[in-house]
């Protein structure tokens, strides 16, 4: 039995939407992107959503919007995908990495210690779809208002550190009964091919800025900025008589094309109404099986405040070395089951090592990583496949300990 790790969910509805875009005579940013933005707002209740070509671009755009640049600090977890850090590096600021808690998410205590007068933003990452502790992050940010130094209009207006959620994994997850997209100041979802909702490549920037910000005005600014700072998009210009435009900002070119948005337009309703529940059911299946195993550490999924979007099933094996974990992964793959590791802590990667980050400073990140194996979790998995996965994992672990 061959079981891939995370194949995209492509059905007739997706193919129909993409065909519709192809046959419409318009393939780049236009009506499908607008529709996808509306759907994200409708299902997450986010006030305004801008679609871009990746979550990485969305993070860069948000950091630029807040005027973050050289000399500024942005706090991020050491345990995340590299894009979280790269976005900060791309705007010229310094990523300040902090350790995580046992649930894989950024440690609020470590955030508090890391805040300085140069801190302009925090990027919490909802690892595996499990929401960060946003209430406590908010509290800390408010308690540090006194030392926040604003250096432009938006910073003056907000008057505090920006909370920019890297919610690449967590569309559909809930915090205190609200969908993510309405919790942080700005929330960025990823629609990359392996994510819960995909457009092959893509991302969404959800604006939830407090008063006196007007989210619609900020959306209009960001839309223009994401398309070279041009006053008319190509769709509008293509209309008869619409040729004249202006360039008003030194913008980026990170807009999403309609062909790709079409995939997401078909996926979003089905995800919120059907396939998200399937992910939760698969989580429950794994949970029942592995909770009987003395060697298993189970990932979080539901508590009083949170419901995960079950993007990853991050199983951990107690007290094993990285080497043993890698042997277990090999044994599992010999049985046709693709697994993965999420994530290699950033200080283990060459770029960040060369920049001076050291894994010894992030003991929890390393400990969570060394015993971690991500199992397949997606709606197409059948009962037979799930059974094959758990029995294969059990055997691989129990013959390796
Ligand atoms: C996938 C991912 C990203 C980047 O998403 P793209 O859409 O590929 O840019 C950022 N952060 C995390 C945690 C991710 O897993």
For residues 224-248, b (16+ Cβ closer than 10 Å) or e, as one string?
A: bbbbbbbebbebeeeeeeeeeeeee
Whether 195 is a known active-site residue: answer yes
The one-character DSSP state at 60 is H
Q: Cα(353)–Cα(92) distance, rounded to whole angstroms? A: 18
Q: Cα(59)–Cα(186) distance, rounded to whole angstroms? A: 9
Q: Flag whether pLDDT at 250 surpasses 90.
A: yes
Check whether domain 12-262 has CATH 3.40.640.10, yes or no = yes
Q: Flag whether pLDDT at 233 surpasses 90.
A: no
Q: Flag whether pLDDT at 385 surpasses 90.
A: yes
Question: Of these residues, 109, 195, 237, 370, which one is catalytic?
Answer: 195
What pLDDT, on a 0 to 100 scale, did the predictor assign at position 176? 98
Q: Flag whether pLDDT at 100 surpasses 90.
A: yes
Q: Flag whether pLDDT at 66 surpasses 90.
A: yes
Q: Cα(64)–Cα(221) distance, rounded to whole angstroms? A: 12
> Which of 68-72, 234-238, 341-345, 384-388 is least confident?
234-238
pLDDT band at 241 (very low <50, low <70, confident <90, very high): confident
pLDDT band at 343 (very low <50, low <70, confident <90, very high): very high
Tell which residue, 284, 319, 345, has the closest CA to residue 104: 345
pLDDT band at 236 (very low <50, low <70, confident <90, very high): confident
Average pLDDT, integer, range 85-112? 98
Specify the length of the chain in residues: 401
Sheet with 119-122, edge to edge strand ranges = 48-52, 203-207, 186-190, 162-166, 119-122, 73-77, 94-98
What pLDDT, on a 0 to 100 scale, did the predictor assign at position 237? 85
What pLDDT, on a 0 to 100 scale, did the predictor assign at position 395? 98
Average pLDDT, integer, range 107-119? 98
Average pLDDT, integer, range 294-308? 98
Average pLDDT, integer, range 179-194? 98
Residue from 192, 203, 346 whose mutation best tests the ligand 1 pocket (most atoms within 8 A of CB): 192
Domain boundaries defined on the chain? 12-262, 272-399
**What predicted TM-score, i.e. pTM, was given to this entire model?**
0.98
What pLDDT, on a 0 to 100 scale, did the predictor assign at position 54? 98
Ligand 1 pocket check for 196: Cβ under 6 Å = no
pLDDT band at 234 (very low <50, low <70, confident <90, very high): confident
Q: Cα(297)–Cα(291) distance, rounded to whole angstroms? A: 8
The one-character DSSP state at 198 is -
206 sits in which H/E element: strand 203-207
Ligand 1 pocket check for 167: Cβ under 6 Å = no
Strand partners, 48: 207
**59 C-alpha to ligand 1 centroid (Å):** 10
Same fold, 12-262 and 272-399: no
What pLDDT, on a 0 to 100 scale, did the predictor assign at position 317? 98
pLDDT band at 264 (very low <50, low <70, confident <90, very high): very high
Q: Flag whether pLDDT at 266 surpasses 90.
A: yes
Give the Å distances, CA to CA, from 314 to 100, 224, 308, 341.
15, 39, 12, 8
Average pLDDT, integer, range 329-340? 98
CATH architecture of 272-399: Alpha-Beta Complex (3.90)
Q: Cα(11)–Cα(301) distance, rounded to whole angstroms? A: 27
What mean pLDDT value characterizes the chain? Answer: 97
What pLDDT, on a 0 to 100 scale, did the predictor assign at position 242? 84
Q: Cα(118)–Cα(161) distance, rounded to whole angstroms? A: 10
C-beta neighbour count of 13 within 10 angstroms: 14
What pLDDT, on a 0 to 100 scale, did the predictor assign at position 178? 98
| β-pair type (186-190, 203-207) | antiparallel
Provide, rounded to the nearest whole percent, the portion of the chain with pLDDT above 90.
97
Write the DSSP assignment of 164-191 as a string of letters: EEE-TT-TT-EETTEETTSSSSEEEEE-
Ligand 1 pocket check for 83: Cβ under 6 Å = yes
Q: Flag whether pLDDT at 238 surpasses 90.
A: no
What pLDDT, on a 0 to 100 scale, did the predictor assign at position 298? 98
């Amino acid at each position: 039995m061959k079981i891939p790790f995370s194949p995209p969910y492509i059905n007739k509805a997706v193919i129909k939407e993409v065909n519709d875009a192809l046959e419409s005579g318009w393939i780049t940013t236009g009506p499908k992107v607008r529709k996808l933005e509306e759907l994200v707002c409708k299902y997450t209740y986010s006030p305004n959503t801008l679609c871009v070509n990746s979550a990485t671009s969305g993070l860069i755009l948000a950091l630029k919007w807040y005027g973050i640049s050289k000399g500024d600090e942005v706090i991020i977890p050491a345990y995340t995908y590299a894009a979280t850090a790269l976005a900060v590096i791309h705007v010229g600021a310094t990523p300040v990495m902090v350790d995580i808690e046992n649930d894989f998410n950024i440690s609020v205590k470590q955030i508090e210690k890391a805040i300085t007068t140069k801190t302009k933003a925090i990027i919490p990452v909802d690892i595996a779809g499990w929401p960060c502790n946003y209430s406590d992050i908010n509290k800390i940010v408010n308690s540090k208002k006194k030392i926040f130094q604003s250096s432009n209009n938006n910073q003056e207006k907000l008057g505090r550190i920006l909370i920019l959620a890297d919610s690449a994994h967590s569309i559909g997850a809930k915090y205190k009964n609200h969908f993510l997209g309405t919790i942080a100041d700005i929330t960025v979802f990823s629609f990359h091919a392996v994510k819960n909702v995909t457009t092959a490549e893509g991302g969404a920037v959800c604006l939830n800025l407090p008063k006196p910000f007007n989210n619609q005005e900020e959306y209009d600014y960001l839309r223009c900025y994401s398309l070279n700072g041009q006053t008319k998009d190509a769709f509008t210009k293509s209309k008869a008589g619409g040729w004249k435009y202006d360039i008003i900002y030194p913008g980026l070119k990170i807009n999403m094309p309609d062909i790709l948005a079409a995939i997401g337009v078909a996926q979003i309703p089905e995800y919120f109404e059907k396939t998200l529940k399937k992910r939760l059911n698969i989580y429950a299946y794994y949970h029942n099986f592995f909770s009987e195993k003395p060697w298993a550490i189970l990932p979080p999924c539901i508590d009083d405040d949170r419901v995960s979007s079950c993007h990853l099933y991050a199983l951990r094996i107690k007290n094993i070395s990285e080497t043993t974990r890698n042997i277990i992964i090999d044994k599992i793959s010999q049985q046709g089951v693709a697994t993965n590791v999420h994530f290699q802590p950033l200080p283990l990667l060459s770029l960040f090592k060369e920049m001076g980050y050291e894994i010894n400073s992030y003991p929890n990140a390393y400990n969570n990583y060394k015993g971690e194996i991500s199992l397949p979790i997606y709606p197409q998995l059948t009962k037979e496949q799930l059974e094959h996965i758990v029995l294969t994992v059990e055997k691989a672990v129990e013959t390796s300990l």
